[in-house]
């Protein structure tokens, strides 16, 4: 967290010419909590005994970009691999594996806060990333029971990875920077969809669905895990600040009760609908939409989804700090709705002219809209949670976020089996389900933003526990 200091005290210290006066004045404010942006932060001191804010600011900036690059590499491998799983694995193994994965996350999120508290965010993220790599290795030689078993392992890894990430980003951000920093992370991270799908497109052209496709992804994921090892320690803020998301408590029962209390708080209940939808929509355009396309063109089409994710994160994330979360959420919902309309046309005419490669041009536009929408749903939910929940409530709120987002993804991959959109027997059932969730979720998000973020200063908002 950025530390700022009382301008009067700082000027007085810098004006003091003798070592004696500098030492006395520094001692007079040492170990004092100075209020910054509505939160109290411990002052740190350099070798001279004077406050040292610049090094921590540099550490925070370094960590924001480094964690973004680590996730970029890890998910260049995993996201692109997930886009192919439902098409390349035999039978319904792809949908079954992803359903087990996201169901596993829903169970493991309850244990994640205790693990993050014991290990710290940095080590927790490294462990979680390693679980992704192990899962990718299992796909080199397909053995169904092994794939399904390691689907549980990656579910555990995903739970601890994303919960630790949410806390880590908040620790490295001032309240006024939540939208900007979550947007920076999401924009860089989502280059993974651009790079990964381009790699998949060109590699697939030469190796098809041979094991070498999964070997390439596993290696890239391993490099991303190594990058996370380089993250620098971040000092915990005072207990009532939002950056102190991981506290010293490690009691599992206490954690679970705390998560349930946050889940049913007035602030979180309106957000659950859009969080759940963000999981359903991800399952739709990575699992169902791709099955409406030729295998050899999936990667190229989803490059446009990656472009949408990047632009949405970098542009709309910053914009939300200026025009508000509600306005950006409505923009994202409108774009995603446009993508669903286009997907409905493709369902009935997959060769609609004009074509680009083996896919209609409008498929690329739909993917771009899906990417924009997905980036908005995630960055705005992360930003508003950072503003609404402070202290230990913050990590519990991110636990609820991960729980319902992954419930949505698990449900999305599961109900796609009996209610497919692709194929001659496919229907628009998934479109109507998503439309209902999107409209309700967006309206409730706007309600929560207006009532709990704009109605009072951010520093007074806590969970109703």
Q: Is the dihedral of CA 290, 331, 37, 310 positive or negative?
A: positive
Contacts with 48 (C-beta within 8 Å, 6 or more apart), sequence order: 22
Q: Is 267 helix (H, G, I), strand (E, B) or coil?
A: coil
Average pLDDT over residues 324-350: 90
Residue 148 confidence (pLDDT) above 70: yes
User: How far apart are alpha carbons 410 and 99 in whole angstroms?
Assistant: 5
Confidence of residue 439 (pLDDT cuts 50, 70, 90): very high
Residue 355 confidence (pLDDT) above 90: no
Range with top average pLDDT, 199-203, 299-303, 439-443 = 439-443
Transcribe 426-461 into DSSP letters.
Answer: --SHHHHHHHHHHHHHHHHHHHHIIIIISSS-GGG-
Q: Which residues of 328-358 are buried (b: 16+ CB within 10 A; e: fewer)?
A: bbbbbbebbbbbbebbeebbeebeeeeeeeb
Residue 399 confidence (pLDDT) above 90: no
pLDDT of residue 333: 95
- Residue 311's Cβ-count burial label (10 Å; 0-12, 13-18, 19+) is middle
DSSP secondary structure letter of residue 51: B
Residue 185 confidence (pLDDT) above 60: yes
User: How far apart are alpha carbons 462 and 101 in whole angstroms?
Assistant: 32
Q: Which residues of 445-461 are buried (b: 16+ CB within 10 A; e: fewer)?
A: bbebbeebbeeeebbeb
Residue 365 confidence (pLDDT) above 90: yes
Confidence of residue 201 (pLDDT cuts 50, 70, 90): confident
- In 100-248 the beta strands, taken as DSSP E runs, fall at none
pLDDT of residue 359: 84
pLDDT of residue 268: 93
Query: pLDDT tens-digit profile of 244-296?
Result: 444 444 466 777 888 889 999 999 999 999 999 999 999 898 888 988 888 77
State the distance between the two ends of the chain, measured CA to CA, in whole angstroms.
Answer: 26
Residue 18 confidence (pLDDT) above 50: no
Range with top average pLDDT, 80-89, 146-155, 194-203, 311-320 = 146-155
How many other C-beta atoms can be found within 10 angstroms of the C-beta atom of residue 248?
A: 10
Contacts with 61 (C-beta within 8 Å, 6 or more apart), sequence order: none
Confidence of residue 465 (pLDDT cuts 50, 70, 90): very low
User: How far apart are alpha carbons 129 and 49 in whole angstroms?
Assistant: 39
pLDDT of residue 210: 67
For the chain, the helix, strand and coil percentages under 3-state DSSP, each to the nearest 5: 75, 5, 25
pLDDT of residue 228: 94
* pTM over cut 0.85: no
Confidence of residue 449 (pLDDT cuts 50, 70, 90): very high
pLDDT of residue 459: 41
Q: Which residues of 126-138 are buried (b: 16+ CB within 10 A; e: fewer)?
A: bbbbbbbbebbbb
Residue 463 confidence (pLDDT) above 50: no
What percent of the chain stands above pLDDT 70? 77
């Amino acid at each position: 967290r950025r530390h700022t200091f009382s301008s009067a005290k700082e000027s007085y210290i810098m004006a003091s010419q003798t070592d004696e006066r500098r030492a006395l004045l520094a001692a007079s404010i040492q170990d004092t909590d100075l209020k910054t942006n509505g939160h109290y932060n411990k002052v740190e001191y350099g070798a001279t005994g004077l406050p040292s804010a610049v090094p921590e600011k540099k550490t925070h900036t370094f960590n924001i970009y480094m964690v973004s690059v680590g996730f970029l590499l890890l998910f260049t491998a995993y996201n692109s691999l997930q886009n192919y799983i439902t098409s390349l694995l035999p039978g319904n193994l792809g949908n079954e594996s992803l359903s087990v994965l996201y169901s596993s996350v829903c169970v493991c999120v309850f244990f994640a806060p205790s693990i993050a508290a014991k290990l710290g965010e940095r080590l927790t993220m490294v462990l979680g990333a390693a679980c992704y790599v192990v899962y990718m290795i299992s796909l080199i030689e397909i053995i169904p029971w092994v794939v399904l078993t390691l689907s549980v392992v990656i579910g555990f890894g995903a739970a601890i990875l994303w919960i630790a990430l949410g806390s880590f980003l908040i620790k490295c951000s001032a309240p006024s920077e939540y939208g900007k920093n979550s947007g920076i992370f999401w924009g860089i991270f989502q280059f993974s969809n651009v790079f990964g799908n381009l790699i998949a497109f060109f590699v697939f052209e030469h190796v098809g669905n041979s094991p070498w496709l999964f070997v390439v992804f596993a290696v890239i994921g391993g490099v991303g895990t190594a990058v996370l090892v380089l993250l620098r320690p971040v000092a915990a803020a005072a207990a009532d600040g939002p950056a102190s998301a991981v506290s010293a408590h490690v009691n599992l029962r206490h954690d679970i009760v705390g998560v349930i209390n946050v889940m049913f708080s007035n602030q979180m209940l309106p957000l659950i609908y859009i969080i759940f939808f963000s999981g359903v929509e991800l399952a739709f355009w990575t699992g169902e939409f791709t099955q409406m396309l030729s295998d050899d063109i999936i990667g190229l089409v989803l490059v446009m989804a990656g472009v949408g994710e990047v632009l949405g994160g970098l542009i709309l994330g910053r914009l939300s700090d200026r025009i508000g979360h509600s306005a950006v959420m409505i923009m994202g919902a409108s774009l995603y709705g446009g993508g669903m309309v286009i997907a409905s046309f493709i369902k009935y005419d997959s060769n609609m002219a004009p074509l680009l490669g083996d896919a209609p041009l409008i498929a690329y536009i739909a993917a771009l809209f899906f990417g924009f929408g997905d980036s908005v749903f995630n960055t705005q939910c992360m930003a508003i949670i950072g503003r609404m929940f402070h202290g230990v409530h913050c990590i519990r709120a991110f636990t609820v976020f991960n729980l319902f987002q992954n419930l949505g993804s698990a449900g999305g991959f599961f109900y796609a089996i009996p209610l497919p959109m692709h194929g001659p027997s496919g229907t628009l059932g998934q479109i109507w389900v998503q439309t209902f969730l999107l409209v309700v979720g967006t309206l409730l998000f706007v309600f929560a933003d207006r009532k709990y973020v704009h109605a009072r200063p951010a520093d007074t908002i806590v969970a109703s526990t």
